[in-house]
Amino acid sequence: MRKKANTDDPIPTVIPNEMSSKEFRRDWARLIQKIYEVDPLTCPKCQGSMRIISLIEELDIIERILRHLGLWDIPNHDPPQPAISRFYS
């Protein structure tokens, strides 16, 4: 209905960022570290510092990479069965 009445203002999907790329990377890493309690820019093998060199957004490319690594068709498992406790009187 809003579209027909010309009152549906489009919201841009990419909002311009006022931060520099260095500030943005630092904030991104800080948020990931806060949520997952791990620094995403520290190598899990050698603990060395890593940097972002590329960002892949195309689904077909992501699928090709994950299929190559054998990670695309990982079967889901059923959730664990609840423990049944029985009380005897």
For the chain, how far is it from start to end, CA to CA, in angstroms? Answer: 63
pLDDT tens string 1-16:
666 776 666 655 555 6
* CA nearest to 52, candidates 63, 44, 40: 40
pTM score, whole prediction: 0.41
Cα 50 to Cα 39: distance, rounded to the nearest angstrom: 10
Does residue 46 surpass a pLDDT of 90? yes
> By three-state DSSP, how is residue 48 classified?
coil
Task: Give the CA radius of gyration of the chain.
Answer: 22
> By three-state DSSP, how is residue 13 classified?
coil
